[in-house]
């Protein structure tokens, strides 16, 4: 077989996962939670669920454009968040972690992608994967612009409910962008890394996927990793600040 990936490996990479990070993003810190109140937290979570739905729809749309209609045929190429909700990853796991006071992460139901139906499988899988973080980046720009507009022209104070909800929704999408770009299988960044790696290294690298979620969860407890993640987030926020500098 040499360096050629096995069929089982192809099936595994045929699901582009969206593991949404919420290290203080889905459930804000105690001080911020107090400012937001129950309604504000509910609105932030609702916007995050919508963002996860758009993330998954972006995966499905790019897969369709690259020749694989599987997700479209299964009704997953939709902005309706309901088909993208996974009972365990979207609801129960984040809720359990929040209750335990642990770093919170969760995700949407993975979009099925048939590796063999893509026109240029490795390259197209990377494009399909990048579509998710790219969608969160664009959503973050929208929330940043809305936040600036409501402060500059809407008469809202920076600590008002509207401003805080927009600010936390912006931050959540920034962190979703950064988190999903981490090159650890099954995160989206790993699909790009698979395309870039030399052929002899691909199979061993993707074999990490069987431990991927565990690795991600453990890494979130390493302060240096979390610091690096927030540095990535800071870089993304600086870029968005530049892109929206003309507003307000």
- Provide the 3-class DSSP secondary structure of residue 51: helix
DSSP secondary-structure letter at 77? S
Options 56, 73, 157, 209, the catalytic residue: 56
Decide if 141 is inside a domain: yes
pLDDT-based confidence at 26, cuts 50/70/90? very low
pLDDT number for residue 27: 42
- Using the predicted structure, report yes or no on whether residue 12 has a pLDDT greater than 60: no
Is 209 part of the annotated catalytic residue set?
no
Residue 2 in any domain: the answer is no
DSSP assigned state of 29? -
Burial class (CB in 10 A: 0-12, 13-18, 19+), 59: buried
Average pLDDT over residues 95-122: 80
Residue 65: inside a domain, yes or no?
A: yes
| Domains in the chain, number | 1
CA 147/CA 156 separation, integer angstroms: 9
> Please, are residues 107 and 88 in contact by the beta-carbon 8 Å criterion?
no
69: Cβ–Cβ under 8 A, 6 or more apart, which residues?
63, 117
In 64-87, which positions are buried (b, 16+ CB within 10 angstroms) versus exposed (e)?
A: bebebebbeeeebbbeebebbbbe
Helix %, strand %, coil % of the chain (to 5): 70, 5, 25
pLDDT at 228: 86
For 52, the domain range is 10-243
Whether the pLDDT of residue 126 is over 60: the answer is: yes
Residue 48 forms part of a structural domain? yes
**Tens-digit pLDDT profile for residues 187-237:** 899 999 999 999 899 989 888 888 877 887 777 778 888 888 889 999 999
Rounded Cα–Cα distance for residues 85 and 94 (Å): 13
The helix (run of H) or strand (run of E) holding residue 112 is strand 111-112
Closest CA to 174 of 226, 120, 231: 231
Q: Is residue 152 part of a domain?
A: yes
Whether residue 186 has a cis bond before it, omega within 30° of 0? yes
In a domain, 5, yes or no: no
Asked if the structure places residue 4 within a domain, the reply is no
Q: What is the pTM of this model?
A: 0.85
- Split at pLDDT 50, 70, 90, the class of 91 is confident
Residue 218 CB burial class (10 angstroms; 0-12, 13-18, ≥19): exposed
């Amino acid at each position: 077989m040499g360096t050629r990936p096995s069929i089982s490996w192809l099936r595994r990479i045929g699901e582009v996962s969206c593991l949404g990070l919420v290290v203080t993003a889905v459930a804000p810190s105690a001080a911020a939670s107090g400012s937001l109140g129950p309604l504000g937290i509910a609105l932030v979570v609702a916007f995050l669920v919508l963002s996860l739905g758009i993330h998954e729809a972006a995966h499905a749309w790019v897969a369709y454009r690259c020749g694989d209609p599987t997700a479209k045929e299964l009704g997953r190429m939709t902005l309706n968040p309901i088909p993208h909700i996974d009972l365990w990853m979207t609801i129960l796991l984040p809720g359990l972690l929040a209750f335990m006071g642990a770093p919170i992460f969760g995700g949407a139901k993975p979009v099925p992608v048939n590796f063999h139906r893509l026109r240029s499988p490795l390259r197209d899988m990377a494009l399909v994967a990048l579509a998710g973080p790219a969608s969160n980046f664009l959503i973050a720009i929208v929330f940043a612009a809305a936040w600036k507009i409501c402060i500059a022209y809407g008469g809202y104070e920076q600590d008002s409910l509207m401003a805080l909800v927009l600010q936390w929704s912006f931050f959540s999408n920034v962190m979703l962008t950064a988190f999903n770009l981490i090159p650890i299988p099954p995160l989206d960044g790993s699909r790009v890394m698979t395309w870039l790696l030399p052929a002899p290294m691909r199979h061993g690298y993707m074999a990490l996927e069987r431990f991927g979620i565990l690795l991600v969860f453990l890494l979130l407890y390493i302060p240096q990793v979390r610091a690096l993640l927030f540095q990535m987030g800071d870089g993304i926020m600086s870029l968005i600040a530049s892109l929206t500098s003309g507003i307000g």
